[in-house]
Amino acid sequence: MKNLNYTIKQTEIKDANAIIDYLYTIAGESNTITFSQSEMTLTVEKEIEFIKTTINSKNNLMLIAKQNNEIISLLTVFSSSKPRLSHVGEIGISVLKKYWNKGIASNMFNEMFKWVENSNLSKLSLRVREDNIYAIKLYKKYGFEQEGLLKNDFLLNNKYYNNIIMEKILNKKGE
Ligand SMILES: CC(C)(COP(=O)(O)OP(=O)(O)OC[C@H]1O[C@@H](n2cnc3c(N)ncnc32)[C@H](O)[C@@H]1OP(=O)(O)O)[C@@H](O)C(=O)NCCC(=O)NCCS
């Protein structure tokens, strides 16, 4: 593989098609996410709606890493529009398999935490399959702690897996 030379940036509406293609690829190569290729129902219109909720938002974020015009990673933070819940950001992260273990997810998290500093979030949360060791390693490295166990939460090929809820309370500057 040639040297990595990627940039991380916030998603724009013009990225919608490329994100759908990216998610289709991810769905085909990762069974730790919640959908397979055949279940992909995301339309460009829906994706544009998602992107719009993140533009200039203090509670929602979509970051992509691009190398030679190809999306190689996607990180999302979405929160509820309900005021009592909108301080909690739910994280999703993925990297194209051929680029795993090269620090890309870690760099996505570094960028996310820069954004978090000026966000309205005071807590980050995520759900991860108990056997997803690299993802759990990543989250622990960034200070996420296990807060709960969801038994038989994930069903794949007639086998149940437990999910872990991991969370990080944010202590931002000035607090
Ligand atoms: C989880 C995922 C995002 C990690 O992405 P990544 O770019 O490989 O992560 P990083 O390179 O930043 O590595 C994170 C940690 O995991 C370790 N790691 C990642 N892949 C590894 C591998 N194949 N072998 C050994 N260690 C590995 C790294 O060493 C690193 O730990 P360190 O910083 O202590 O060295 C990626 O595996 C992925 O996209 N998985 C499929 C989608 C998914 O499961 N997402 C999470 C859903 S909750």
DSSP assigned state of 43: -
**DSSP bridge partners of 165:** 127, 148
CB of 63 closer than 6 angstroms to any ligand 1 atom: no
- Taking the centre of ligand 1 as the mean of its atom positions, its distance from the CA of residue 15, in whole angstroms, is 24
Q: Where are the domains of the chain?
A: 6-125
Query: Which atom of ligand 1 lies at the shortest distance from residue 109's CA?
Result: 12
pLDDT at 2 over 90: no
Mean predicted confidence (pLDDT) in 108-112:
98
pLDDT of residue 28: 96
- pLDDT tens track for 28-76: 999 999 999 999 999 999 999 999 999 999 999 999 999 999 999 999 9
Mean predicted confidence (pLDDT) in 169-174:
74
**Residue 7 banded pLDDT, cuts 50, 70, 90:** very high
Q: Indicate the CATH number for domain 6-125.
A: 3.40.630.30
Torsional class of 143: left (φ above 0), alpha (ψ -120 to 50), beta (otherwise): left
Mutation choice for ligand 1 from 134, 140, 164, CB with most ligand atoms inside 8 A: 134
- pLDDT tens track for 86-109: 999 999 999 999 999 999 999 999
pLDDT of residue 62: 98
Q: Tell me, what amino acid is at 41?
A: T
CB of 128 closer than 6 angstroms to any ligand 1 atom: yes
> Using alpha carbons only, what angle is made at residue 10 by residues 9 and 12, rounded to the nearest 5 degrees?
115
Instruction: Name which of 6-10, 12-16, 39-43, 129-133 the model is least confident about.
Output: 39-43
pLDDT at 174 over 70: no
Name the closest-CA residue to atom 15, ligand 1: 138
* 118 exposure class (CB count in 10 Å sphere: 0-12, 13-18, 19+): exposed
Q: What is the mean pLDDT of the chain?
A: 95
